[in-house]
Structure 1
């Protein structure tokens, strides 16, 4: 009986839409950590404290970044995210690190991911890359990011299960994120940055009703099925607010961790709705440096 049932379920699974079948396959892969991923996580421990006491800028992709002069970031340590290599003047401030969250297979095929990664690789300069473990397979199989330093994290746990204020160790499985700046913050604190300034981290699409970027997408254009072609959000408010509640809890927890460890997180962006961190305008933040140098 059990064998017959397994045959029926196996046959039925072949009739499922590609996306659902792919999601199930990925879920099975995520249930175990391969030896190669374990080694990659162990290597992340060498990153701990690499930038102890230094400052970095995490550049998000919110539309407010388009209204700021990003060329002033030249000479600073910049962490860009996702499609951030499309920012105007990207090549002038040359990010040192680039962070990509876990990709949702089923909404993107592996061929589409490969095209995106190729575009990314061609535009990132010498930035070191952070990916989730779920992308290790496609990177290895298709020989992507040749010559680039790629680090992997394991987004497996839950922010709500964190009970202390220790710096999150990316050499171990870490909490899943609802937005890539959260992952970038965890990585920055692990590497020892004392001052972390956020730019273009707006999170105000729930108010405007539209999800927009500071640039025009290229390879990924039209791949987000949660919005219309002009960026109008399709999700009902209930789902949007549930997601926002999770996201704000993640920022709140990171703020608590930062305070407990002498890390200062600053929102240097224009506008936006993120209110978990102190706001200091970018020009004022940079002018304070000049005053200290006199």
Structure 2
């Protein structure tokens, strides 16, 4: 009984402490960094780079002078191209736990992570900024943040985080590349595991040699997030295009990457 009572007190204290931290976040140095990003790239375009099997290094070579967002283990192709992303994001706990050293050593302009990594896991990355991650009901479309200082909404894909960041930065034209939106092992909303033995997961087999230890993606949740992004974009005169070579994402208008003017 005493142990159970102590656990309740600890949980209550944890929640109170977290709420205080959230309330004070707008006054923090992390918030100051995010504030400086407001309309930094007003009326410009950007490319959001997924890690799907369709991703080609020769395509990335064309993006040297573009604003780009990339994620997670994108560094596995850095030995094949001089391109480096403008912004790097990662929010998958299991990926970060297994790749902390590699991520910390990345030489990239700015890195972004949910603030729970320093708060809960005492993980602080070099040259990094942090944001509040807002979770919601995974069965419905998430909200779309208009002010990332007050939080970014979870969409079960870091690409959704990047979209919210890009819009906050004033971007008016977003191109997705390498967002195949399909995996060899997926979970649906019913909790069922769907296997597609013909599918490749990433641009290199080295990417997920530890995939049995990582989260199983639910693309139905991600689809709802992409739908929310499109709804917001359509209402605010923002264009989101899918320039991925193939893949299964059909929420956004498709464009041929080879026909984009660089």
Q: State the TM-score, normalizing by the size of structure 2.
A: 0.77
Distance 1:32 1:83, change over 3 A: same
* Residue 178 (structure 2) aligned to one of 200, 215, 219: 200
RMSD: 3.3
**How far off its partner does 1:33 sit?**
5.0
Rounded Cα–Cα distance in structure 1 between residues aligned with 2:17 and 2:209:
28
Distance 1:216 1:245, change over 3 A: closer
Secondary structure of the residue aligned to 2:149 is coil
CA deviation profile, 1:19-69 (whole Å, cap 9, x unmatched): xxxxx89x8599535267442235422211010111111111011104863
Verify the 8 A CA contact 1:199 1:269 in the aligned structure 2.
yes
Any residues of structure 2 matched to 1:3-82 within 5 Å, and which?
Answer: 5-7=1-3, 31-34=18-21, 37-38=25-26, 39=28, 40-41=30-31, 43-66=33-56, 69-82=59-72
Distance 1:9 1:222, change over 3 A: farther
Secondary structure of the residue aligned to 2:244 is coil
Q: Which residue of 1 aligns with 2:116?
A: 134
Q: Which residue of 2 aligns with 1:212?
A: 201
Structure in which a larger fraction of residues adopt helix: 1
Distance 1:8 1:211, change over 3 A: farther
Verify the 8 A CA contact 2:142 2:224 in the aligned structure 1.
no
Q: Which residue of 1 aligns with 2:226?
A: 251
Rounded Cα–Cα distance in structure 2 between residues aligned with 1:80 and 1:200:
10
* Unmatched runs of 5 consecutive residues or more in structure 1: 12-23, 228-234, 290-294
Q: Which residue of 2 aligns with 1:119?
A: 102
Distance 1:213 1:28, change over 3 A: farther
Rounded Cα–Cα distance in structure 1 between residues aligned with 2:100 and 2:81:
18
CA deviation profile, 1:62-87 (whole Å, cap 9, x unmatched): 11104863211121111111111212
* 1:98 corresponds to 2:88: yes
Q: State the TM-score, normalizing by the size of structure 1.
A: 0.70
* 1:151 corresponds to 2:129: yes
Any residues of structure 2 matched to 1:234-245 within 5 Å, and which?
Answer: 243-245=218-220
Q: Which residue of 1 aligns with 2:155?
A: 177
Between the two proteins, the alignment pairs up a number of residues equal to: 242
Query: Which deviates the most, 150-159 or 45-54?
Result: 150-159
Larger radius of gyration: 1
Query: Which deviates the most, 168-177 or 57-66?
Result: 168-177
Q: Which runs of 4+ in 1 moved over 6 A?
A: none
Rounded Cα–Cα distance in structure 2 between residues aligned with 1:81 and 1:65:
13
* Residue 260 (structure 1) aligned to one of 235, 241, 245: 235
